[in-house]
Amino acid sequence: MARIVMKFGGTSVADIDRIRNVARHVKREVDCGHEVAVVVSAMAGKTNELVELTRAASPMHDAREYDAIVASGELVSAGLLAIVLQSMGVDARSWQGWQIPVKTDNAHGAARIAEINGERLIERFGIGQVAVIAGFQGVAPDNRVSTLGRGGSDTSAVAIAAAVNADRCDIYTDVDGVYTTDPRIEPKATRLAKVSFEEMLEMASLGAKVLQVRSVELAMVHGVRTFVRSSFDEPYAPGMDDFDNPPGTLICDEEEIVEKQNVTGIAYTRDEAQISLRRVQDRPGVSAAIFGPLADAGINVDMIVQNVSGDGKFTDMTFTIPSGDVDKALLALEKIKDEVGYEAVQSETGLVKVSVIGIGMRSHAGVAAIAFRALAEKGINIRAITTSEIKISILIDGPYCELAVRTLHDVYGLDKL
């Protein structure tokens, strides 16, 4: 017998028929003798509907009331799934975030989990009851409901799995695992059997939509073995009850992966923008003077390239941000023009960041050179490059995105994994 937390996203609980399908997945694990908790998202489209209603009521609204409204979507899903499970003979009860409780900070709309006490859930395991938990929500220090931001149900599930010492956390979604790249761009993309926490964290932060970044961070910190699985697989198909090797992708510690590939996957992020400050006075503190105000404005700066003039008096500073933040960034930079002393600012949108990811890079030289050569042969110009131990990110023009992804996927032989 094992302890499992199962999480189902919005498309998995989109209507009553799909909720019944989810219930069959849950019942399979219960019939195998496992202790089960389930975390659910709102039904597909419901959160967007609630957000629009809130904005229609008032564009400038109280964040606490926003949370009270948008958190209701998960309550409906949890209650409906509990009812369906009961009709199938499974002892189940729905739970709201505050009932556990999932304690968060006071950042309404984008709260972070501070603490979860799993004792009440563990008591329910003891009597054979399935806890169906509304994801995405908790209770803030002001004793009001709080929400964790988009994709927060993934974070809820992993955090609850850590709190109850679950043997694993199964994230059910509309795809059957983590792929070497987006199958919509590269049909030869293959499903990975295992991915390390670090690789998944890079993939999630660099454009892969399978898991929320914060959920992967939590899983890595607490060592929560996490499976990405499809809720649309037949619940009682052969192998679905194989605890050690269910269908899907296991996200785990690096030590569990025997064969470490040089490259595990290719991720990409569209709608990147590049901003360049020309002839900035090159002096101590100038970088802080530029990037401090951008950080204060909530702008996430990624790639940074600095070119110093021959006489050492001036520098060109180029960096990337999400395209949606360009106007906000230009406004922040205009306010510090006199302090920084740049002569001109230029911006360009519609760029793409393509990233090569793999823990095998740590011990293998030449991985970056392969990428640069392959892209050059396809006539793709590289605007900027950043690297880490397990990642190479390359900024290119938007129209070359699909060609670059397919080229890199092919040159590293990812279709043969």
Binding-site residue numbers for substrate are 47, 74
Task: Decide if 85 contacts 130 (C-beta within 8 A).
Answer: yes
The whole-angstrom separation of Cα 354 and Cα 221 is 27
Extended strands (E) in 10-109 = 35-40, 92-95, 102-104
The whole-angstrom separation of Cα 386 and Cα 44 is 36
Name, in order, each residue with C-beta under 8 angstroms of 20's C-beta and a sequence gap of 6 or more.
84
The whole-angstrom separation of Cα 290 and Cα 333 is 7
Name, in order, each residue with C-beta under 8 angstroms of 330's C-beta and a sequence gap of 6 or more.
275, 345, 347
Sign of CA dihedral 95, 100, 106, 110: negative
Q: How many residues does the chain have?
A: 417
Cβ atoms within 10 A of the Cβ of 346, count?
A: 11
What residue has token string 């017998």? 1
Task: Decide if 212 contacts 155 (C-beta within 8 A).
Answer: yes
Residue numbers in the known binding site are 7-10, 47, 74, 173-174, 179, 184, 209-210
Residue numbers in the known binding site for ATP are 7-10, 173-174, 179, 184, 209-210
